[in-house]
């Protein structure tokens, strides 16, 4: 489990494509300090398993499903990534509960400066937006953020994605127009994460609040 509090900006040093997967190598001296093969590290919100380490670099195998459903498949050598180690039991939960299981991707459609912060508007599919609420939590590229605004979920879109979030409903919702949500970034977030250099058109990983998914699942099952 992670908290969405980025510990380090890492740098991709290699993404070797294989038949149906890839081998990702990242330079992250801080997160590899006490790590060992088999440990988990969140890379821009995606939980990966360390397979080897050397001189501050770690390598992880990324399966085809992950490459297709996250932004990891678009990484290039030299690019920055957000890195976080799992939270220790009994440690502080400074962000929110983040599993590193990305639910889908969104696209930055607007980036505007405010007085002492910066606002990003991110487009997302209805099957993700149903779990995103104003003042609720969302992880964007592994960064725990508070939702400042969210577009209404239309009845048409809600009907198209009724039921728990699952991969087999993605295609059916494709004909429905995307909505959006907004997050406000403070200077600390801008300076310490990849969101500080994000631009309109960038694809970002989105993980919705796992509590919302469990609540929906229980209600759908007629829990008493």
C-alpha 161/C-alpha 172 separation (Å) is: 8
Residue 98 within any structural domain of the chain = no
**With pLDDT > 90 as the criterion, what percentage of the chain qualifies?**
74
Instruction: Say how many domains are in the chain.
Output: 2
Are both 149 and 181 inside the same structural domain?
yes
Are both 161 and 112 inside the same structural domain?
yes
Kindly give the pairing relationship between strand 21-27 and strand 40-43.
Answer: unpaired
pLDDT of residue 92: 81
Are both 162 and 206 inside the same structural domain?
yes
Residue 99 within any structural domain of the chain = no
pLDDT of residue 154: 66
* pTM for this prediction: 0.87
pLDDT of residue 153: 78
Are both 147 and 176 inside the same structural domain?
yes
The answer on pLDDT for 111 being more than 60 is yes
pLDDT of residue 166: 47
Are both 118 and 206 inside the same structural domain?
yes
pLDDT of residue 165: 53
How large is the C-alpha radius of gyration of the chain?
17
Residue 94 within any structural domain of the chain = no
Are both 77 and 110 inside the same structural domain?
no
C-alpha 38/C-alpha 58 separation (Å) is: 11
Give the residue from 134, 128, 121 showing the smallest Cα distance to 198: 121
Residue 95 within any structural domain of the chain = no
What domain range includes position 59? Answer: 8-84
Residue 90 within any structural domain of the chain = no
pLDDT of residue 19: 86
Are both 113 and 163 inside the same structural domain?
yes
C-alpha 123/C-alpha 108 separation (Å) is: 6
Residue 26 within any structural domain of the chain = yes
CATH number of the domain encompassing residue 28: 2.40.30.20
Are both 120 and 60 inside the same structural domain?
no
Are both 76 and 157 inside the same structural domain?
no
Are both 44 and 108 inside the same structural domain?
no
Are both 151 and 50 inside the same structural domain?
no
**Would you put residue 170 in left (φ > 0), alpha (ψ -120 to 50) or beta?**
alpha
- Per-residue model confidence as pLDDT tens digits over 26-46: 999 999 998 999 999 999 999
**In which band, very low, low, confident or very high, does the pLDDT at 60 lie, cut at 50, 70 and 90?**
very high
- Per-residue model confidence as pLDDT tens digits over 63-93: 999 999 999 999 999 999 999 999 988 888 8
Residue 3 within any structural domain of the chain = no
To the nearest whole number, what is the mean pLDDT of the chain?
Answer: 89
* Last residue of one domain, picked from the residues 52, 84, 116: 84
Are both 208 and 139 inside the same structural domain?
yes
């Amino acid at each position: 489990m992670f908290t969405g509090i980025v510990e380090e900006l890492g740098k991709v040093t290699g993404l070797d494509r294989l038949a149906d997967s890839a081998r990702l190598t990242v330079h992250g001296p801080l997160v590899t300090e006490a790590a060992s093969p088999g440990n988990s590290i969140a890379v821009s919100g995606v939980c990966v398993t360390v397979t080897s380490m050397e001189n501050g670099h770690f390598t992880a195998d990324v399966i085809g499903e992950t490459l297709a459903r996250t932004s990891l498949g678009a990484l290039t050598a030299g690019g920055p990534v957000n890195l976080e180690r799992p939270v220790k039991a009994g440690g502080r939960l400074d962000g929110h509960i983040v599993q590193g299981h990305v639910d889908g991707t969104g696209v930055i459609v607007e980036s505007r400066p405010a007085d002492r912060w910066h606002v990003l508007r991110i487009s997302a599919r209805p099957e993700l937006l149903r779990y995103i609420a104003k003042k609720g939590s969302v992880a964007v590229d592994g960064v725990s953020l508070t939702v400042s605004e969210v577009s209404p979920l239309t009845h048409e879109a809600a009907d198209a994605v009724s039921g728990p979030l699952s991969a087999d409903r993605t295609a059916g919702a494709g004909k429905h127009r995307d909505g959006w949500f907004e997050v406000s970034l403070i200077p600390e977030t801008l300076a310490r994460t990849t969101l500080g250099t994000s631009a309109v058109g960038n694809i970002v990983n989105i993980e919705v609040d796992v509590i919302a998914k469990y609540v929906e699942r229980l209600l759908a099952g007629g829990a008493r």
